Structure 1
Amino acid sequence: MSRSRPLVLLLVLLAALLPAAPASAAPGAPFTNPLKHVKGADPWIVHHDGDYHLIATSFTGELQMRRSPTLAGLATAPSVRVWSDATPSRGTNMWAPELHSFDGRWYLYYSAGAVGEPCCDSQRTHVLESVGSDPMGPYRYKSMLTGRELGVNGWLIDASVLRLNGRIYLLGSSFINGGPQSLVIAPMSDPYTVSGPFRLLSSPTHDWEKQGGVVNEGPEVLQRGGRTFLFYSASACWGPDYKLGRLTYTGGDPLNASSWRKEPNPVFQRNDAAGVYGPGHNGFFTSPDGTEDWIVYHANDAASDGCDNGRTTRAQKVTWRADGTPDLGTPVALGTRLPGPSGETAATPTAHTLTNRNSGKCLDVVGGTGDGADVVQATCTGAATQRWRFTDLGDDTSRLTNVGTGRVLDVADCGTADGTNVRQWSWLNNACQRFRPEVGDQGGWVRLANPHSGKVLDVADCGTADRADVRLWSWLNNPCQQWRPNPVA
């Protein structure tokens, strides 16, 4: 008997007693980029309660969010207005919205300028607080976050939150001490209050941070294994060389620039071979099972494209090197089929039903497949005529196409009066066929507003029977005017 045999038997016995290593979850539903093909700049994704939530820059006075049980489904999910603000000091040119959760509520950070002022001169950071625990809202305005020590009397964009050593800090991009556009940091006493002066964190020092413009912006945090990494966007957003750099926290006071080490080279940049230009202003999110880290970012598909709504939202998986540092890889070409995040269990939605809050019935088409067929409510059966596809039209409105008929939701004769009938019609690309889902005062329920008339979809006389007519009516904030988009595969 070999002397090594008892040792081998002992090791086998110990291995049998140890718990088995957890099996890796299967990849999620396959997807292709882009996840948002219009208004896809400065994207932010969180996964919460079984759904991904995507929000991005609007360049208008409202913010819209998409929700889907799979990453792939974000590409066709309804764009729902979660915030609109006509306040003169904070109501236009909204950029870089981000969602962060504290103590059961969501805080939505964004930058916006004053109505009537030239673009960008008055950009400040604002924060909203959710009324409940739903990332879709509703939200209420909480505060403006700025500091006199910042240049241009408080100009501050691209706000994000750092949680480190039991404290929270506000990150952003501004001008300080007369220098170039740089990363700044300030302590916070709560999610909506800056409790100390902003301090310089990183300025453009390398040549690759100065291509087309001398810029550091879009700070974003990624943490793993007790380590903290801070990614940021460098160079001009209006050029193809917009890219990502990285800082690594080395210990000490996070407010001190000396506590961070800057990488000498960019970590994510243009990929001409794949037709990806200006990849930047990213966010990070985790897979549904919590085992994977993912990056979401925007990019252009031509070197001549600029810093506008032509940028599209894209995502891909982050890997980790043996030394514990993240590897963002290389931005992949649009249309590349990628496995989705691990832990997804739902099927990717292909359309949505719209359930009325008062009756529990679904928005339906009766009377045929042709122009003029009436839109009513009916018992939800899953029929094709109860399925609607939302198409983002890029102007904060959507086209609703009926799966069963191929026609779109339409206001009869472009009427604007209360009681005007709603029907289906061939797509004419006019304002009467555009609708906007808007969050009301109850999470999960929306009103379907027609911007042309200013009216909303309403069930006639709050009827609950099948074939009760659906019409336009002034907003009364009652359950008969509220609908829930339900994804269906």
Structure 2
Amino acid sequence: MTRPTSGPPFRRTAHARPAGLTLGVLAALLLALCLAATPAPLARAAVALDQWYVVTSAHSGLVLQIEGESVESHADLVQANRTGAESQQFRFLESADGSYRIQSRLSGQVLDVLDFSQADGAPVIQWPDHDYANQRWVPIERSDGTTSFRNVHSGKMLDLLDGSPAPGAPVGQFGDNGLDAQRWELDPVADTGLANPLRSNGADPWIQYSDGAYYMSTTTWDSTVTMRRATTLAGLATAPDTVVWDDAGAASRCCSHWAPEFHEIDGTWYLLYTSGSSQTNFDGQKLHVLRSTGSTPMGPYEFVGTPLPGQWNIDGTYLEVGDELYLLWSEWVGEDQSVRIARMTNPWTVTGPQATISRPEHSWEIRGGRTNEAPAVLERGGRTFVTFSASSCNTPDYTLGLLELTGSDPLDPSAWTKTPDPVLERGNGVFGPGHNGFFTSPDGTEDWIVYHGNTSATQGCGDTRQTRVQRVTWDDDGTPSFGEPVPSGEVLAPPSGE
């Protein structure tokens, strides 16, 4: 197997041989020392399976982490300040010979000595788990309670190269010398459970589960789109933000990035977001579309288009009915901010007529402003539902309404039936719940809602809005039930299949 290298491995300077000693004399001295005091064999350390650990260097006090929070193969193992992120959590997978592979919680890959090297200073990277000998490690118990890890292929120890105390310093392998740079403390990660909020500054959230991980984006307010990735829903609370797109320098879409959503359409990920030309004047806000050239929602992305370049439009999402793709968005129609729809020829191009399928008409849709926005699609059993956010987000009565496609033509306003009452409104210390998305559990058996909410009736539309999640249930008549907002701190059962 051939793999690219990440440059020549770091090599320590060999210690000089004492002057005046011949090789024969040195050999005799070494033999005498060995006969006088043969060291006891190294004892294997006990590790728990199905337990995630933070691994701390006894030398530096810093923890193991995959460089750059990367999920890509070949990323280096380094040390970093402890943050609690999943990129700093590892577990042990037992091999048939009794050794272990050390798996990253964030990427699912295992620690691997680069290119099967047996050299001192060879770097350790992450690589897909093939149970190769250079991916197997034997935990060794030290007398001070720390643990060392010996690689099965090379016989060398996992080592903080050059004993550096600095964050970002590389970790590789080196011959056993008993130094603190080869000693590690295993700190089990406590399972604190899933509870709201998942994020404090987390307006307009969107979550999808794909290929073993959850991905989440929220409004950034600036020129960027960011994303978090975690293997558990609870893990999104501490996962790092990764910038997946930056419009700095693109004058027409440089600023005020809102409401990113990512959708897999015909095997390709598309990212739909709202932005404009100013951080303070929102008259130029429009939808824009990115297309991933990678295999995950993290991209990398390329810009492909602005679906409605000639009009103000925000909060876009996709609807697929049969073989047709539609764009849903919010736009002013007279004095009403309304939900609109149009057919698309591809995920960035609108074609044909545009129609209004929901406008404010009930008392709960006009508090603080006549507003219908942020449509989100939920499908089950051949039925199509669309939630939307009603009333002004500046009020504690921002709330969710529900439409159902009861006709055959999504472009026909009469084909949509609106539920007369809101389906999620303030309660349990959560104010202004709205701007939601939907995602499924890992095993596909459960539907979940993600939305934002405030903790005070006076907080409004700013960065105080928190990302929150809870399970969707289904009534006997086949309609979704969202219940009340789950109180902050209440522990939730994780999605089925985690």
TM exceeding 0.5: yes
Q: Find the counterpart in structure 1 of residue 358 from structure 2.
A: 202
How far, CA to CA, are the matches of 1:251 and 1:165 in structure 2? 13
* Contact kept in structure 1, 2:206 and 2:218, CA below 8 Å: yes
TM-score w.r.t. length of structure 1: 0.62
Do 1:29 and 1:339's aligned partners in 2 also have CA atoms closer than 8 Å? no
In structure 2, the residue corresponding to 1:339 is in which secondary structure?
A: coil
1:138 matched to 2:300? The reply is yes
Specify the alignment match of 2:102 in structure 1: none
Q: Secondary structure at the match of 1:338?
A: coil
Compared CA separation, residues 80 and 147, structure 1 to 2 (3 A): closer
Give, as a single letter, the amino acid of the residue that structure 2 aligns with 1:73. G
Q: Contact 2:314/2:329 (CA < 8 Å) preserved in 1?
A: yes
Q: Is the contact between residue 147 and residue 197 of structure 1 (CA under 8 Å) also seen in structure 2?
A: no
1:419 matched residue in structure 2:
none
Following the alignment from structure 1 to structure 2, what is the Cα–Cα distance between the partners of residues 30 and 328? 21
In structure 2, the CA distance between the partners of 1:52 and 1:188, relative to structure 1 (3 Å rule), is same
Are 2:328 and 1:171 equivalent residues in the alignment? Answer: yes
Shift of 1:119: 2.3
Q: Note closer, same or farther for the CA distance 1:29–1:104 as it changes in structure 2 (3 Å cut).
A: farther
Q: Deviations over 1:177-205 (max 9, x none)?
A: x2411000000011111112321111000
Corresponding residue for residue 475 of structure 2? 321
Alignment of structure 1 residues 280-291 onto 2, 5 Å? 280-291=434-445
- 1:34 aligns with 197
Q: Compared with structure 1, are the counterparts of its residues 147 and 78 closer, same or farther at alpha carbon in structure 2 (3 Å cutoff)?
A: closer
**C-alpha displacement at 1:103, in angstroms?**
2.2
Q: 1:297 aligns with which of 447, 451, 475?
A: 451
Q: Aligned match of 2:417 in 236, 241, 261? A: 261
Asked if 1:159 corresponds to 2:321, the answer is: no
Cα distance in 2 for partners of 1:52, 1:242 equals 27
1:61 equivalent in structure 2? 223
**1:228 alignment partner AA:** T
Residue 213 of structure 1: how far off its partner (Å): 1.0
Q: Aligned partner of 2:362: which letter?
A: H
Partner Cα separation in structure 1 for residue 370 and residue 303 of structure 2? 33
Tell me if structure 2 keeps the 8 A contact 1:147–1:198. no
1:35 and 1:196 map into 2 onto residues whose CA distance is 40
The answer on 1:334 being equivalent to 2:491 is no
Q: Is the 8 A contact 2:208 2:439 kept in 1?
A: yes
Deviation at 1:72, TM superposition (A): 0.3
Looking at structure 2, the residues matched to 259 and 229 of structure 1 have their Cα atoms a distance apart, in angstroms, of 12
* Matching residue of 2:75: none
Q: Distance in 1 between matches of 2:387 and 2:307?
A: 21
Equivalent positions of 1:19-30 (< 5 A) are 30=193
User: 1:93 touches 1:119 (CA, 8 Å); kept in 2?
Assistant: no
- Specify the code of the residue in structure 1 equivalent to 2:316: A
Structure 2 runs not aligned, ≥5 long: 1-190
- Structure ID, larger Rg: 2
Structure 1: which 5+ runs fail to align?
Answer: 1-27, 149-153, 345-489
Which residue does 2:338 correspond to in 1? 182
> Could you say which residue in structure 2 is the equivalent of 1:416?
none
Residue in 2 aligned with 1:225?
381
For the residue of structure 2 that corresponds to 1:181, the secondary structure is strand
1:340 alignment partner, SS class:
coil
Q: Secondary structure at the match of 1:121?
A: helix
Q: How does 1:54-453 map to 2 (within 5 A)?
A: 54-86=216-248, 87-115=250-278, 118-146=280-308, 148=310, 154-176=311-333, 178-271=334-427, 274-344=428-498
- Give CA deviations for 1:410-430 in whole Å, capped at 9, x if unaligned: xxxxxxxxxxxxxxxxxxxxx
Separation in structure 1 between the aligned mates of residue 483 and residue 278 of structure 2, nearest angstrom: 40
Q: CA deviation at 1:49?
A: 0.6
Percent of counterpart pairs with the same letter? Answer: 53
* Distance in 2 (alpha carbons) for counterparts of 1:159 and 1:280: 15
**Aligned-partner SS, 1:258:** helix
| Alpha-carbon contact 1:125-1:146 (below 8 Å) kept | yes
8 Å CA contact retained: 1:59, 1:94: yes
Q: CA RMSD in A?
A: 1.3
> In structure 1, how many angstroms separate the alpha carbons of the residues matched to 2:353 and 2:453?
33
Alpha-carbon shift at residue 309 of structure 1 (Å) = 1.0
SS at match of 1:31: coil
In the alignment of these two chains, the number of paired residues is 307
Preserved CA contact (<8 Å) 1:113 1:123: yes
Question: Secondary structure in 2 aligned to 1:32?
Answer: coil
Alpha-carbon separation, structure 2, partners of 1:64 and 1:213? 30
Any idea what the Cα deviations from partners look like across 1:115-153, whole Å, max 9, x if unmatched?
A: 47x4211000000000121110110111001164xxxxx
- Measured at CA, do residues 320 and 156 of structure 1 come closer, stay the same or move farther in structure 2, by a change above 3 Å? same
How does the TM-score come out when normalised to structure 2?
0.61
- State how far apart, in whole Å, the 2-side matches of 1:42 and 1:124 are: 16
Q: Distance in 1 between matches of 2:358 and 2:323?
A: 23
Alignment match, 2:106: none
Query: Deviation above 2 Å: which 4+ runs of structure 1?
Result: none
Deviation at 1:30, TM superposition (A): 3.1
1:53, 1:29 → 2: CA distance? Answer: 20
In 1, are the aligned partners of 2:407 and 2:414 still within 8 Å (CA)? Answer: no
Q: Which amino acid aligns with 1:290?
A: G
Q: Aligned partners of 2:335, 2:284: CA distance in 1, in Å?
A: 18
Q: In the aligned structure 1, how far is the partner of 2:308 from the partner of 2:445?
A: 36
Higher relative contact order (CA 8 A, sep 6+): 1
Q: How many angstroms does 1:106 deviate by? A: 0.7
Q: What is the one-letter code of the residue matched to 2:321?
A: L
Cα offset for 1:29? 8.4
Cα deviation for residue 164 of structure 1 reads: 0.8
